[in-house]
Chains A and B, each alone.
Chain A
Amino acid sequence: MKKRAVVALKDGAFFEGWSFGAEGEAKGEVVFNTGMTGYQEVLTDPSYQGQMVTMTYPLIGNYGVNLEDNESHRLYPHGFIVKEYCPYPSNWRSRASLDTLLKAHSIIGIQGVDTRALTRHLRDHGAQEGIISTEDFERESLAKKIRAIPGLVGQDMVREITCRNPFMWDSTRKNGNLRVVVYDCGVKYNILRSLSGLGLEVLVVPAQTPADEVLAKDPHGILVSNGPGDPEGVPYMIKNIKKLLGKRPIFGICLGHQLLALALGLKTYKLKFGHHGSNHPVMDLSTRKVEITTQNHCFAVEGWEGWRDTHHGPVEVTHVNLNDRSVEGLRLKDLPVFSIQYHPEASPGPHDAGYLFERFLGMMKGQ
């Protein structure tokens, strides 16, 4: 039997559906993702900590879930909103249904929602807090609960999800000649896979690890990973980056990019409904070539044109989003430091930007 479920938003918008996955109540900021594939990667992406994700593609669960496509060891979104859940997955790699995965991780799902209407609402009125419930269908009482949800702004969500202890990724690569330290702000496995795929020794450290400790590991380069929430909520990482600038090549991805910007004295701001999907065109301004990119961020770096001075010398916008002209990449003129707002590791999404890892490797090699 179908079990009723609803989604309520802070501004009163209300959507009906029925339950799948776990039952109960889930809270968080509601965002939408326009990728047509990759729900397993989305669900295991730590950057979705504290959010509830609406998939705009209506048919979800078609290919089940498998053992290889995880981006971390657990699920992060608090809720998952779809138009039609498919209970009979069909794919040669499928090991279980999406429903099984959600239940195993106690993630609440809702299906049968007019996700296009919900998406249009978020687009026009902005991403906002909301509730999925399979228990409470009263608008008033749901509204009250929503008001109690803390917003993303200023929150430190990294603390909740960074690894507790440092660890080596893929220990078989221990004898690689170059070593990279990855600050885990919520790192996706495919960043680690991409680095070790280049023959690097990859050491992952918790976000709170002081810069000195990192330098003590004598890395050839430092990568500040993606992660959830507002970069201003993670002041210790900004401090770390400031200390590391000029010491080693640095590559920032997504949240790491925003943290680097803050460390350089630049500003960040919250986007109306963020960028979440696998089809955003980004231009590399140096080559004028366009990459189709995976995006997943609610905050962005304030833009400018040309060079801008910082304590560490001039910084330049290297990549720009062609949809809304927002900043997608930065580069220091005098130091081997650069950052990218989107996801060169893809997963899900196109591999167009994979070259950026090689660029990082080149920097580590002193090229």
Chain B
Amino acid sequence: MPKRTDIKKILIIGSGPIIIGQACEFDYSGTQACKALREEGYQIVLVNSNPATIMTDPEIADATYVEPLTPEVLEKVIARERPQALLPTLGGQTALNLAVALVERDVLNKYAVELIGAKYEAIKKAEDRQLFKESMRKIGLEVPESYYIRSMSEAMGAYEKIGLPAIIRPSFTLGGTGSNIARTPEEFKEYVEHGLDMSPVCEVLIERSIIGWKEFELEVMRDLRDNVVIICTIENLDPMGVHTGDSITVAPAQTLTDREYQVMRDAAIKVIREIGVETGGSNIQFAIHPKTGEMLAIEMNPRVSRSSALASKATGFPIAKIAAKLAVGYTLDEIPNDITRYTPASFEPAIDYCVVKVPRFDFEKFPGADQRLTTQMKSVGEVMAIGRTFKEALGKALRSMEIDRPGLVEVLPSVPNAEEIRAFLRQKLQVPSWEGIWYIAEGLRYDLTVEELYKLTHVDPWFLNNVKEIVDMEDGLRLEGIMVGARCNVPLLKEAKAYGLSDARIAQLTGTTEESVRSLRHKDNLRPVYKRVDTCAAEFETYTPYLYSTYEQECEARPTDRPKVVILGSGPNRIGQGIEFDYCCVHAVMALREMGYETIMVNCNPETVSTDYDTSDRLYFEPLTLEDTLEIIHLEKPQGVIVQLGGQTPLKLAVPLEKEGIKVLGTSPDSIDRAEDRERFAELLRKVGLKQPDNGCARSMKEAITVAERLGYPVLVRPSYVLGGRAMRVAFDEKSLRDYVQKATEVSPKHPVLIDKFLEDAVEIDVDAVADGQHEVFVGGIMEHIEAAGIHSGDSSCALPPYSLPRETVEEIERQTQVLALELQVLGLINIQYAIKDGEVYVLEVNPRASRTVPFVSKAIGIPLAKVATKIIMGKTLRELVGATGRSPLPYTAVKEAVLPFIKFPGVDTILGPEMKSTGEVMGLDKDFSRAYAKSQMGADGLLPLSGTVFISVRDRDKPGAALLAKTLHKMGLMLMATRGTASLISKEGIPVQEVRKVFEGSPNVMDYLKKGEIHLVINTTEGNISEKDSFPIRRTALIHHIPYFTTLSGARAAARAIESMLKGQVEVRPLQEYYQRKNSVVSSQ
């Protein structure tokens, strides 16, 4: 069917900030969709609050709104843009929920906007569990027995029928938020209560447990002519009971016969038809009883999903792109397969390799979090690996994880008593955990049988036997070594490599070094070959070089002899290393392509835009280890490698790559070292005459106390061997310093503790700049943090331009940035963190590389810094790249707000500190700081109240400030409630305040008011362990009830300003393109 011509303008909603369960896969799918539809001549209006996305680059859509994703804001966008259609299936659950809200508020009707892709009824049928269940029964499919309850007494009724264990699932939450498995009556009650709290409609589904069943997923596509194809099958290694986002998954399905698979395929087709998803992709999950084969339909997502991103990368079939084209009327047979070019998209990809996805967790950032894997997703990222066998793909995936485990390494302490170990393992194996696969390997090493392991884990014996083969291979290597006399046992080494063992792992097993394994391999020319992902198992010739390594006979890489550059990607998402770096890498690719270079991308994160085979000229879906990158470089022979844009992952490889004689493009590894090495850095600052906070280094507890006393409390302490704020802490007195040194770190002469004078109440500043190595520095953005120093920069909100600094200070920061960048001969990007205390500027940290804030700054100022940096690296000058308009002051303000994952971790405190915890960010953009800040809060799901009651409870140091703040809030018409100490101070100022009991002072206390919805904003600052513990329930309850809360006074002050501005006038929306225009016109009128 031809494309629709009655539609001219289409609205696409993005997925907003990165959160657990909704990551950059939606940037990948949304970007694909925007491009595909613009190719067809449609105008695209895009709304997404997340600035760190490629989709919000101004070139991707015709009008790009970086605005909060709320129904009110969307209505404003619709009123302003008047699109004819809304495509809601590409922005995850967020976009789908918003589409539902817009229908229910009659907005779409009012403005005559048609929902395309999935209609309202279809979304409802798929999302509402009761409707879904009825639909499944109607088409003859079974679903787990379940009851839908709205109160505890109804829940007890369901309990009688289903028994334990039971699954508790709140309706309409993201990524399974609030879902739990209850194994005891106590758990049952607790989880039901939690679920009722979590569900926006106060509904919970109680379901028969099918824990231990086999879990499968099918990625299905349908067009308007009712053609349906299955793009990919996925089998979960972890059985039912573990959220698929937290499971190791494998494509294609491994343990189904064709007969069984076809039954499932038929069912999937029936499901998509019955639910009524007209066009596009859906993900359908099934459970299979391992002994009887009974099949149950579990759920369906009527939209592209994390799994569909995975399926796209696993097969080479671009689901989102095709879904977009189907939504405007094309049929599958009318769309060509990009990879084969002449066969159509109406086929089912044939895979001739095995794909393994492994989730990445970051529990160490959330002390106290329940680490058991359940039906609620907890992982923060994932890696994917491709191999010709499961064993090979698993090995590659595990070494891609960035957790210093080069494979199925030993994870048990070597205890002499094997029986004790077995008992320990049995206990560990029964509870699904992120380390499950390693414990399985350990179990096999300690002679647990596959049968016993199956009973403990319900992981299918097929997987267990494969792991056993790896363990046996490892045992063989450990026993025999890889040498026969003076010569290498080449067949054994080759087999080990084909089993997915890394050089580093082989070295561990054979008592040698990674380097010597590598040189042995190279001496015998034992190198990987590269095969293509081609959608068709080699049946047709293909043109798109999307490659993976394996140890086999034939190499299909066919490298070109064009001038080329390798860009190392950012690896799995985790806290502190997210979409921002992928954004920078993608920009580097674009810049290099503009300059005529062939671009070669290496990455292992399937969620990303960088691993779209469309992004670069050649894509190597490979682990980002030294071994794997060296092999690619050996084959491709690029002019150099760019490592400064992908964050920690590639940066770590800079020095080792340079040692191997490979050209690292941009700032030299020596300059990086000068900025990172503590002593060299201090010397650097002395040389250029800049200040840093007083500091010292301690190798024992005694030394630590001496240093701290010399500096004066409070001090900032951290171990010397971890980067990025991990395990960092502010100590306010000797006791807390002792606590920290004893508990949190292992202090020794080898592992000293670093101690800095902590600049209390200092203003923290982040600067991103680009320098050309010798002459010029372009300061892209100076960001003023709203939270005072001491909170990780990734977790604080910040404003660009600064909102409170005097002009001289800003100029001084600019000057210091110039000095540092030139002294370090920075070629490319540099990020500097400063603290301003009493008008004095201190340098906290210098990172001569891309920072997390590069996308935010780029988007705010309308200049793509990573692109500029890349071109500088390749020899262009700043003068050529950034004109006068680029350097002009901003006639508006951008505020970045961090988005935190606490809701997924019951029992974890929400207090911020020097260790980063946020998963994502949003940007608020408006004419002044107050409005921009208001939008940033709205975007981060913290819609500030314009009336109602503010609860204030602050630590002593903050009390004077709190009183002032209370005055402001009172003036704006808000009511106040406070605990005794704070209340007496406020009433002393003559402001009416309701005194309320603390949590442990008996009822009714603050918690009761929170739960009743009588508090609309919480301001709660604490100091010291006891008060943190006391106020913990307040913060958790506020979080669960979506009541905005501030744990710093500076944040609360900004909130007050934002409320004030919102009271003055309604929120207005404006696309980026207009902001940029205004900025440029300011310059030209000068």
Contact = CB atoms under 8 A, between A and B. Distances in A.
Q: Do A and B bind each other?
A: yes
Interface in B533-579: 536-541, 552-554, 556
Query: What is the size category of the interface that chain A forms with chain B?
Result: 35 or more
A349 B390 CA distance: 23
Given A69-B258, A90-B255, A116 B347 contact: no
B389 interface: yes
Contacts of A292: 229-230, 347-348
A322 B352 contact: no
Interface stretch (B290-298, B685-693, B826-834): B290-298
Contacts of A37: 253, 256-258, 261
A59 B257 CA distance: 13
Nearest to A56: B537
Interface stretch (B460-468, B655-663, B864-872, B880-888): B460-468
Contact of A289 (B226, B252, B260, B289): B226
A91 interface: yes
Contacts of B389: 58-59, 83-84
A36 B351 contact: yes
A63 B540 contact: no
A290 B227 contact: yes
Contacts of A114: 552-554
B257 A277 contact: no
B343 A322 contact: yes
B254 A346 contact: no
Contacts of A123: 538-541
A40 B256 CA distance: 12
Contacts of B465: 86, 88, 90
Contacts of B331: 288, 290
Contact of B350 (A34, A91, A117, A346): A34
A242 interface: no
Nearest to A348: B258
B750 to A, nearest CB: 45
A217 interface: no
Nearest to B541: A123
Given A322-B346, A350-B265, A66 B257 contact: yes
Contact of A91 (B255, B344, B536): B255
B258 A38 contact: yes
A147 interface: no
B259 interface: yes
A281 B350 contact: no
Q: In this complex, which of B259, B450, B536 has the most chain A Cβ atoms within 10 angstroms of its Cβ?
A: B259
A127 interface: no
B352 A92 contact: no
A155 to B, nearest CB: 25
A351 interface: yes
A168 B534 CA distance: 45
Contacts of B226: 289
B350 A36 contact: yes
A215 B289 CA distance: 49
A116 B349 contact: no
Nearest to B290: A92
Given A62-B255, A63-B256, A91-B257, A351 B347 contact: no
Interface of B, secondary structure class, is: loop
Pick the 10 closest A-B CB pairs, nearest first: A38-B258, A117-B554, A348-B258, A114-B553, A90-B462, A56-B537, A37-B258, A34-B350, A279-B348, A88-B465
B293 A62 contact: no
Contacts of A117: 552-554
A133 interface: no
Interface in B330-377: 331-333, 343-344, 346-354
Contacts of B261: 37
A349 B536 CA distance: 15
A83 B392 CA distance: 13
B388 interface: yes
A341 to B, nearest CB: 16
B538 to A, nearest CB: 4
B262, B353, B556: residue with the most chain A Cβ atoms closer than 10 Å? B262
Chain B interface residue number, banded: 35 or more
Contacts of A281: 332-333, 343-344, 346-347
Contacts of B390: 59
Interface centre among B233, B256, B346, B541 (most CB of A within 10 A): B346
A350 B351 contact: no
A279 B347 contact: yes
A34 B340 CA distance: 16
A57 interface: yes
Contacts of A68: 259
Contacts of A41: 258
B531 interface: yes
Contact of A57 (B260, B344, B347, B352): B352
A15 interface: yes
A226 interface: no
Interface in A1-53: 15-16, 32, 34-38, 40-41
Contacts of A84: 388-389
Given A36-B351, A90-B460, A277-B350, A350 B262 contact: yes
B225 interface: yes
15 contacts: A36-B350, A37-B257, A62-B462, A69-B259, A83-B389, A84-B389, A90-B255, A115-B352, A119-B539, A290-B225, A290-B333, A292-B347, A322-B333, A322-B347, A323-B540
B293 A92 contact: yes
A32 to B, nearest CB: 8
Interface in A141-158: none
Contacts of B230: 292
A120 interface: yes
A123 B290 CA distance: 39
B266 interface: yes
A6 B290 CA distance: 37
A272 to B, nearest CB: 11
Nearest to A83: B388
B346 A290 contact: yes
A88 B262 contact: no
Given A57-B352, A58-B354, A351 B554 contact: no
A119 B354 CA distance: 17
Interface in B291-325: 291-293
Contacts of B552: 114, 116-117
A116 B554 contact: yes
Given A59-B354, A281-B332, A346-B262, 8 more contacts: A32-B539, A40-B258, A63-B256, A116-B388, A278-B258, A279-B347, A289-B227, A351-B266
A53 to B, nearest CB: 14
Contacts of A93: 257, 260, 293
B418 to A, nearest CB: 25
Q: Which of B226, B257, B291, B343 gathers most chain A CB within 10 Å?
A: B257
A180 interface: no
Contact of A63 (B255, B265, B348, B352): B255
Interface in A59-103: 59, 62-63, 66, 68-69, 83-84, 86, 88-93
Interface in B208-233: 225-227, 229-230, 233
A187 interface: no
A179 interface: no
A288 B261 CA distance: 26
Contact of B259 (A59, A283, A322, A347): A347
Contact of B258 (A89, A288, A349): A349
A41 to B, nearest CB: 6
Interface string B38-52: 000000000000000
Contacts of A115: 352
Contacts of A331: none
Interface string B255-275: 111111110011000000000
Given A69-B259, A279-B348, A322-B344, A34 B461 contact: no
B1 to A, nearest CB: 9
Contact of B262 (A83, A92, A351): A351
A280 interface: yes
